[in-house]
Amino acid sequence: MARFMYGRNGADQLCWAILIAELALSLLSSLIRNQYFSAFAHYASLFLCVYLFFRLFSRNLEKRRAENAKFMQWWGPKQSALRGAKARRADKAHKYVKCSCGTYCRVPRGVGRVELTCPKCGKKQIVKT
């Protein structure tokens, strides 16, 4: 298998995204009982499946890498925003205040009212922790 995959694209981020899209489609089609939608979902997931295998075993690495880079250009910022939101939710020791410039400012919880100065734009605001 390793020898067979040598010189081929293999699974990159775009492949994983296609796989997830396929799973989401099949889940949707089992939830939505509509014959037109299930027909659409069937052909769409078939197409995605073919495209997925085409990308996995493609030998045209340059093109596949360019496609993946394009996808990551679109998805990368969203992914890091999602990761940031998850980390902020997990952090119970701090409060995160979003500034009007879009920056998240971190303040420790339980210290009462503090004047917060945004490190990016310097705007001040009073925050209750």
Among 30, 34, 103, 125, indicate the residue that binds Zn ion (CB under 5 A).
Answer: 103
Cβ closer to Zn ion: 11 or 81?
81
Contact between 121 and Zn ion per CB under 5 A:
yes
Contact between 120 and Zn ion per CB under 5 A:
yes
Contact between 101 and Zn ion per CB under 5 A:
yes
CA diameter of the chain = 63
Q: Give the Cα separation of 128 and 111 in Å (integer).
A: 8
Scan for tokens 């119970």, then name that residue.
Answer: 92
Q: Least distance to Zn ion from the beta carbon of 99, Å?
A: 3
Report the candidate in 52, 42, 43 with the shortest Cα–Cα distance to residue 20.
Answer: 52
CB of 108 closer than 8 Å to CB of 93:
yes
Binding site for Zn ion (CB under 5 A): 99, 101, 103, 118, 120-121, 123
